Structure 1
């Protein structure tokens, strides 16, 4: 992205080779599905108990052993958009139903617009997100602890010791998780890996978060239609390699992942992630750079 000095900044972590993307990594630049975040190993869908493929202890994380990030998608250029498509077969990672997924990417100026959609022939779970690691500094030699962040969410979903939601929604006020006012990511000693309940639940496209860095003139605003946003500060992440002049540091990038709440099928008061054959799953995510 262009900065105020007439130069440009590479604002997302990634790799220089296809082989590095195909190797094991913490979902760098990945599209996540069928379900973003964590699910218990058993869920109930349309009254039937379903056993899911697990890849994190007793949990399924980001769609399972072979989530959407490990598939080769169909691709086509339509007008000025990139359209990616994937057919996820009945039983994929334990999920019922043949799910037809379509993602459309369109770049409008410095604004990347993403339209997510899917249809199914059986009741199933659909909860997709992007897992981009952002670093707005000049190059990715600096950690993101000095990045300034604001999240438009006054509460979060409580987690148990296994990183599974308890069903309780707790206020961020008075906790290290409070980003309702602008502050630095590193102001709290602990790393962040938490789902925020966004303030407006109208499911219309609205501002979820904004972030900028002290040595950068670039601001990133994340808009979405989903009710939740996962903030991951990647304190535990230290990549072995990366694009160009990458230097391994703690918290090399941060993730802002629009989503429905983690493990929603276990909590009837959470917004539902169940999609029926009579419905179309449709959501939108926008990265707006200024």
Structure 2
């Protein structure tokens, strides 16, 4: 049984909800569909929060790390803040050097979504008008959060009245420890044979690199920190891991473990890639829930999505959503004890 509860509503339409069953408690807010807390037990049965976030809701208005938020219209970077679709070039807001990042100046992470409570979760809706942040087409995005025993799922649906570009994700940062030590000693396994390369601005170039015999091979479980400082141009370009892993299979493609707490997270997704980001820039002033400034590597983001910058690098871009078509994607997070 899932208990869905409205915790608080502010005058500006911001609403806080909790979803709770015997295994999990999740606190969300409809500003950006942000997941603010995920409480799950450790090996001793003690529950604690396993994601990073900010102390106050006001802090999220200027959140450089996108903690727990839905990202749109397009996650990650679009090169030179422009793309061409159907012969027309669209200019976007350059908010990451010369590139467009995570939806622009005011992406979906800052939008107020409508909310519909469900028996086992919450369904969110946002209507993005034609021209918003430079993107064509009126877009409807529906995001559904559900709980089922020890599993939390995110389902994305979108439609448009004109051809457009989309790439949705959730920017959760996980830290499964009880002490919020850096994630270097978390163990990660990824069913992937290739990563997408990035240039020195962290922009996806469209080139794929085989992971075999590189620091990017996580096909066998290993510590995140094992090869994090290795002498590899891709690690230097991104100041750590900030790369898309092309996923094999359709279930249990990722496993994250923290041996001291005994927690294990297993991720299954219909998305073709996961962006693994080791919090390489967290130290730039993010004051966390505990009231202290986060340091680099204190969380790892595992962002299931389409290939970044696909509109500029793929012959038939996977990120194009055509008029009359529907975009759908699902990601499931299962929390277990090792």
Secondary structure, in 3 states, of the residue corresponding to 1:195? strand
Separation in 1 of the partners of 2:45 and 2:259? Answer: 17
Are 1:250 and 2:296 counterparts?
yes
The answer to whether 1:51 aligns with 2:100 is no
**Cα distance between partner residues in 1 of 2:290 and 2:255:** 26
Q: What pairs up with 1:1-290 in 2 under 5 angstroms?
A: 1-40=40-79, 41-140=81-180, 142-188=181-227, 189=229, 190=235, 191-200=240-249, 205-238=250-283, 240-244=286-290, 248-269=294-315, 272-290=318-336
Whole-Å separation in 2 of the counterparts to 1:234 and 1:54: 21
* Structure 2: runs of 5 or more not aligned: 1-39, 230-234
Q: How far apart in 1 are the matches of 2:297 and 2:316?
A: 30
Offset from partner CA, 1:145-176 (integer Å, 9 cap, x none): 10000111110112223322222211011111
Decide whether aligned partners of structure 1 residues 247 and 91 sit closer, same or farther in structure 2, where only a CA change above 3 A counts: closer
1:8-41 Cα shifts (integer Å, max 9, x gaps): 1211111332112223331111110101111121
RMSD: 1.6
1:177 shift after superposition = 1.4
2:55–2:287 CA contact under 8 A, matched in 1: no
SS of the equivalent of 1:102 reads strand
Q: Displacement of 1:208 after TM fit?
A: 2.5
Count of residues in correspondence between the two structures: 285
Higher relative contact order (CA 8 A, sep 6+): 1
Distance in 1, matches of 2:267 and 2:189, equals 11
User: Following TM superposition, by how much is the alpha carbon of 1:270 offset from its aligned partner in structure 2, in angstroms?
Assistant: 6.3
Q: Which whole-Å deviations, capped at 9, do the CAs of 1:239-274 have from their partners, x for residues lacking one?
A: 542224766332111000001111101223465110
Alpha-carbon distance, 1:59 to partner: 0.7
Given that 2:55 and 2:291 are in contact with CA atoms closer than 8 Å, whether structure 1 keeps it comes out as no
Indicate conservation of the 8 Å contact 1:139/1:245, yes or no.
no
Q: How far is the alpha carbon of 1:116 from its aligned partner?
A: 0.3
Gaps of 5+ in 1: none
Q: How many Å separate the matches in 2 of 1:277 and 1:270? A: 16
Q: Secondary structure at the match of 2:41?
A: coil
